[in-house]
């Protein structure tokens, strides 16, 4: 592990979580240190695991990757719950949390979340 890059180390840790036969997977910033191809591979794997009945709970600031697949969300601001409930796209909510305007579009049937500033 000492000779691996940050991305390679992250892949090893994610693989160890994915191979365990558990009903719930908890992840904290699972895409950190990953190149775009590896990030997309992780996102696809998580979607497949969820489709097979596993519950995925993850923390991420990379809302553009995870919002389209989410069915519930918890938004924290200054350590306090700002929103909890069903997935809801709200420019005001994201502006309150991230101090930027996020927009949503559908491109070729895919939901895209992007910073509009």
77 shares a domain with 41: no
Give the pLDDT confidence score for residue 80 in this predicted structure: 95
Same domain, 56 and 67: no
Q: Contact at 8 Å (CB) between 88 and 55? A: no
Shared domain for 6 and 50, answered yes or no, is yes
Per-residue pLDDT, 101: 92
CA–CA gap between residue 79 and residue 16 (Å, rounded): 29
Could you report the per-residue pLDDT of 53-80, keeping only the tens digit for each?
Answer: 989 999 998 888 898 889 999 999 999 9
- Give the residue numbers spanning the domain of 31: 1-60
**Total domains, the chain:** 2
Domain ends where: 60, 76, 96?
Answer: 60
Task: Taking residues 45-49, report their average pLDDT.
Answer: 88
Written as six digits, the tokens of 6 are: 């940050």
**pLDDT at position 105:** 94
Average pLDDT, the chain: 88
Q: Over 80: is that where the pLDDT of 116 sits?
A: yes
**How far, in Å, are 1, 98, 112, 113, 117 from residue 66 at the CA level?**
28, 16, 10, 9, 20
93 vs 11, higher pLDDT: 93
Is the model's pLDDT at 17 over the cut of 80? Answer: no
117 compared with 101, residue with greater pLDDT: 101
Quote the pLDDT of residue 28.
92
80 and 49 share a domain?
no
Q: What percent of the chain has pLDDT over 90?
A: 44
């Amino acid at each position: 592990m000492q000779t691996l890059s940050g991305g390679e180390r992250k892949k090893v840790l994610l693989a160890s979580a994915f191979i365990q036969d558990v009903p719930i997977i908890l992840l904290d910033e699972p895409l950190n240190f990953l190149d775009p191809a590896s990030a997309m591979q992780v996102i696809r794997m998580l979607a497949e695991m969820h489709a097979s009945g596993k519950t995925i709970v993850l923390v991420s600031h990379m809302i553009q990757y995870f919002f389209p697949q989410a069915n519930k969300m918890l938004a924290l601001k200054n350590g306090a719950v700002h929103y909890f409930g069903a997935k809801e796209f709200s420019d005001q909510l994201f502006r309150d949390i991230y101090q930027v305007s996020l927009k949503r579009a559908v491109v070729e049937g895919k939901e895209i979340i992007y910073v509009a500033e």
